[in-house]
Amino acid sequence: MATADQKTDTQTLNGADVLVQALAEQGVDIVFAYPGGASMPLHQALVREKDRIRTILPRHEQGGGFAAQGISRTTGKVSVCTATSGPGATNLVTALADAKLDSVPVVAITGQVPQAVIGSDAFQETPTVEVCRAITKHHYMITDIRDVPRVVKEAFFVARTGRPGPVLIDFPKDVQLALWEGDIDYDPPMNLPGYKPEIRNAAPEQIKQVIAALRRSKRPVLYVGGGCINSDASEELTKFARRAGIPVAMTLMGLGSFPGTDPLSLHMLGMHGTVYSNYAVNEADLLLAFGVRFDDRVTGKLEEFAKHGKIVHVDIDQAELHKNKEAHIPIHANLKSVLEHLNAEISDEDIPDLEAWHAQIDEWKRRYPLSYKDSEWIIPQYAIEELWRQTKDRDTYVAVGVGQHQMWGAQYYRFDKPRRWLSSSGLGTMGFGLPAAMGVQAAHPDALVVDIDGDGSMLMNVQELATLHCEKLPVKILLLNNQHLGMVVQWEDRFMKGSRAHTYLGPIDRKEATGDGDGTFDDEYGDFYPDFVQIANGFGVKARHVRDKAEFPTALAEMLACDGPYLLDVICPYQEHVLPMIPSGHTVRDIITE
C-alpha cells in the first residue's frame, strides 16, 4: 500500500494507463509513437492523457527513435519513443544501437504479443528483448501489471545515471489490458541490486597529480569528447582551459563543449579534424583526455597516438579507462566534479609558461588552415560557411545526416554552446539528420533548427517531411545534393582508383557530364533526380532549388526567414573531398606530411 505522502490513484486503470501516467510522473511531455495491433491499448491511454503528454506520430519507427534522441541530446533529459511488436520493434533497433554508442538516454517502449502466445510464432511476434540485449543499457519485459510503476521508474533511472544509454521496455498486450486494483504508488522502491551508479569525485591526490603534471608541462592539450557535454561540464571546462591557457581539441561528439570561436580552440581532431589539432596532440607532452574513448577515427594507430606525452584520462565509465589507450593518470569520476575541483585548486604558480606553445600552434593554424578552393559553383564547404555567417548570432541547433556533409558541418560551422550539434557519431547512421531535427524542434519550438543533409541520407527518412508538416515543426533543411554517396566516392577515389561501385544515385542509364567541371548533370533527365522540391511540396513543405552561387545567399536567407518547414535543394559538385583524411592503420603525421 502507498503511504500518505506518496502519490496514489484510486481510479480503475488498465496497464497501459498506468504506464502512461508513470511516464508523466517522470516528467515526460512528448512521446514519439507509432501504433500497431500490439500497442493499441498504449495509444488509447496516450489519447486519454493528451493534455499532459504530446504524442507525435512519426512516419517510421526509426524516425521516432531519432526524434527522441533529438530531445535527449539537446536537453539531457530521458526521452521516449514507442512502437508495436514485430517489425515495429525491429525498426527501432538502429535508433537504439545509435543511442547506445553515443550514450543517449532514451526509453523505448515496444508492444508485444500476449504472453499466452509468446514463443508460438504469433502474428508480429519478435523476441525484442533478445534482439536488443546487446544494444541497450538495460531491458525489461513486463509480465505483471503490478510491476509497471517500478519498471518505468527504474528504466528512467538507469537511462540517465552513470554513462547514459537506451533502455527497452517490452510490454505484452495482455498486461496493457489488465486492470489495476487498489491504490497506485508511482514512486515505488527500485530493485536494481547490481546497479550502483554514483556521482564519483576524484580523490584529492588525483587532483594534485593532474595539477602537478600541468605545472611541469610545456605543451599541454585538452582532448575533449561527448562525456563533457553529458556531464554538463562545458562551463567548468571553459573556465579551466582559459585560466590555464590550454588549447582544446574536440571530438565529433564534443563539439560545442568549448567555444569554437575561442582562440584556444583547435576545433575537431582526428581523421577529418584540423591539421593543427592533430599536430598539437601529436606533439603534446600532456594530454588531458576528458570524457573521450580514444576512438579509431581519432587515433589512427593507437601506439602512435599522443606517444610523446603523459595521458590523463577522466571518464564516468570505468570500462573506458585503459580500454584503447593506457593512461598514466586514470580517473574514474564525473568530469564536472573533476573540473570543479581543478578550478578550485589550481593557483597561478601551477600555470606553466605556454607562450612558445601558443606561438607554435598559431604557426600551424597559419600554415594549415581549413580551406577549400573557390569555385563558380556552390561547393558544400562554402554553403555551410554561409549558413554559419547567417545564423551565428542566433541560438541555432544543427543536426546532420552522415557522410561528407556531416564532416563539413563539423569543420565549417562553429559551435559556441553545448547541445547545439547533433550527429550520429559512433554508429554513423544515414537518415539521422531529419528526424533528429524534428525532435529538437518539438522540444525547442521557438528555436532555429537546421538539418544539414545529403541526398543519400535524406532519402533514408524522407517520409518525416510529413511529420514536419502535420505537426507544424518549422525545421529548415539545407540539402547538399551531389547525386552521389559522397564519402564512399571519396574512398573510391583514394583507394579504388576512382572505380564507382553503386555510389551514383541517379538513373542507371544516365550519362554523367564531367566535361563542364561542375560535377552536375545536363542530359535528357534534367538537372534534378530525384526532384526534392516536388517531393517536399508533395508533403506540404516549401522548397526550392538553387544552383547559381550568386543566388545562394538570398536563397538561404529566404529559407531561414520562412515561418514553417523549408527544404533548400543545393546542387553541388561531387568531386569535393573532405580533408584531411587519415585511413585506418596510418598515423596523423603520415597523412599530414605525405
> Cell numbers of 156, please?
528512467
Cα distance between residue 103 and residue 93, in whole Å: 15
Decide: 129 and 139 in contact? Cβ < 8 Å.
yes
Give the gyration radius of the chain's Cα atoms.
25
Cβ burial, residue 332 (10 Å; 0-12/13-18/19+): middle
Helix (H, G, I), strand (E, B) or coil at 452: strand
Is 198 tagged catalytic? Answer: no
Mark out the alpha helices in 424-575 (DSSP H runs). Answer: 433-443, 455-460, 465-471, 486-495, 532-538, 552-561
DSSP secondary structure letter of residue 117: G
Amino acid residing at 416: D
Catalytic, out of 6, 123, 130, 181: 123
Residue located via cell numbers 579509431: 296
Give the neighbor-by-neighbor strand order of the sheet with 286-290.
265-268, 248-250, 220-224, 286-290, 310-315, 329-332
Catalytic, out of 487, 528, 532, 575: 487
**Residue 471, CB-side half-sphere exposure with 13 Å CA sphere:** 25
CA max distance for the chain:
80
Query: Comparing C-alpha atoms, which of 490, 417, 429, 481 is closest to residue 271?
Result: 490
Decide: 65 and 106 in contact? Cβ < 8 Å.
yes
Catalytic, out of 25, 40, 49, 124: 124
| Distance between first and last Cα of the chain | 72
Backbone angles phi, psi at 380, to 5 degrees: -60, -40
Is 258 tagged catalytic? Answer: no
Query: Comparing C-alpha atoms, which of 480, 470, 478 is closest to residue 564?
Result: 470
DSSP secondary structure letter of residue 106: E
Catalytic, out of 21, 26, 32, 61: 61
Catalytic, out of 173, 310, 325, 365: 173
Backbone angles phi, psi at 442, to 5 degrees: -65, -40
Is 61 tagged catalytic? Answer: yes
Helix (H, G, I), strand (E, B) or coil at 428: coil
Query: Comparing C-alpha atoms, which of 393, 430, 429, 431 is closest to residue 414?
Result: 393
Per residue, what are the HEC states of 330-361? EEECCHHHHHHHHHHHCCHHHCCCCHHHHHHH
Amino acid residing at 236: E
Count of other CB atoms within 10 angstroms of residue 386: 18
Provide the annotated active-site residues.
61, 123-124, 173, 487
